[in-house]
Amino acid sequence: MARNDLQGSLDLLVLKTLSQMGELHGYGIVLHIQRASDELLSVEEGSLYPALHRMEQSGWIRSEWKVTETNRKAKYYKLTTAGQKELLKAEKSFEQLIKGIRAILRYA
């Protein structure tokens, strides 16, 4: 359970980032999550890329090689319709998880 949920939360972070930012490359996703969470969360590169590939295979995101503002080639990821649905699902299940954990913390 633990493993799935951790993976689930990484998926959630990535999907949410992409839905807010539109199109982003892997490095951009790392930076965004770091910044947006006030440096509380840091995504490891070692987990991010396998996750991105898995989500791409599942059809939640699409990728495209583009040139960055600093003129570098980078692979940009974009949310698909399936990805948007998945995001809603993930948000819901995350909220339930939080609710559950809170409830337990309260009575523990």
Partner 1 sequence: MSTVRRILNLFSRSKLEQEIDAEIRSHVEMRMADNMAAGMSPEQARRDALIRFGNRTVMRERIAAADAELAFDAVARDLRYAARQLRRSPAFTITALLTLTLGIGANVVVFSVLNALVLKPLDVPQPSGLYNVVHKAQGYDSQSYPDYLDFQRRNATFSDMAAYQIQNAGLTTGNAAYKCWYYRVSGNYFDMLGVQPAQGRLFHTSDEKGPNSAPYIVLSNDFWRTHFNSDPDIVGTTVDINKHPFTVIGVAPGAFHGTDVFLWPDFWMPIVDSPDDEGANFFSNRGMHNIWILGKLKPGVTPQQASDNLNFIARELARQYPASDDDLSARLVKPGLMGDQLGDPARSFLAGIMLLAFLVLLAACANLASLFAARTADRSRELTIRLAIGSSRWQVLRQLLTEAVLISVLGGALGTIFSTALLDALTGWQPFAEFPVHVAVSPDPKVYLVALLLAVGSGIVWGLVPVRQIWATNSAQVMKSGAAGTIVFRRLAFRDLLLGAQIMLCTLLVTSSFVALRGMQHSLHAPVGFRPQGVILAETDLHMGGHSDASSTLIQKRMLQEAGRIPGVTAVGIIDETPLGTGGSSTLVYRMGTTEFRASNSAFGAKYFSISPGYLEAAGTHLMTGRDFTWHDDAKASRVAIVNETFARAMFGNESALGLRFTMGDKVPNEIVGVVENGKYESLTESPWAAMFFPLDQNPDTDTSLVVRSQLPPGEIVPALHRVLAQIDPSLPFVFHSWPDALAFVLFPARVATASLGVMGLLAAMLAVTGVFGMAMYSVSKRIKEFGIRVALGAQPVRLMRSALGRPLLLLLSGSGAGLLLGAMASQLLAQIVYQATPRDPVVFAGVMTTMALLGFVATWIPAQRALRVHPAELLRQE
Q: Which listed residue (25, 32, 83, 86) binds partner 1 by CB under 8 A? A: 25
Kindly tell me which of 40 and 108 has the beta carbon lying closer to partner 1: 40
Region of 9-17, 48-56, 83-91, 93-101 interacting with partner 1 (CB under 8 A)? 48-56
According to the binding rule CB under 8 A, does residue 46 interact with partner 1? Answer: yes
Q: What is the DSSP string of 37-90?
A: TTTS----HHHHHHHHHHHHHTTSEEEEEEE-TTS-EEEEEEE-HHHHHHHHHH
Pairing type for strands 23-25 and 61-67 reads: unpaired
Going from the C-alpha of 10 to that of each of 5, 43, 63, 89, the distances in angstroms are: 9, 8, 18, 14
Binding flag, residue 21, partner 1 (CB under 8 A): no
| Residue 70 interacts with partner 1 (CB under 8 A): yes or no | yes
Among 10, 13, 26, 33, binds partner 1 (CB under 8 A): 26
Reduced to 3 states, what is the DSSP secondary structure of residue 1?
coil
Residue 12 or 52: the one with the smaller Cβ distance to partner 1 is 52
For binding to partner 1 (CB under 8 A), which residues are involved? Answer: 25-27, 44-46, 49-51, 53-54, 56-58, 68, 70, 72-75
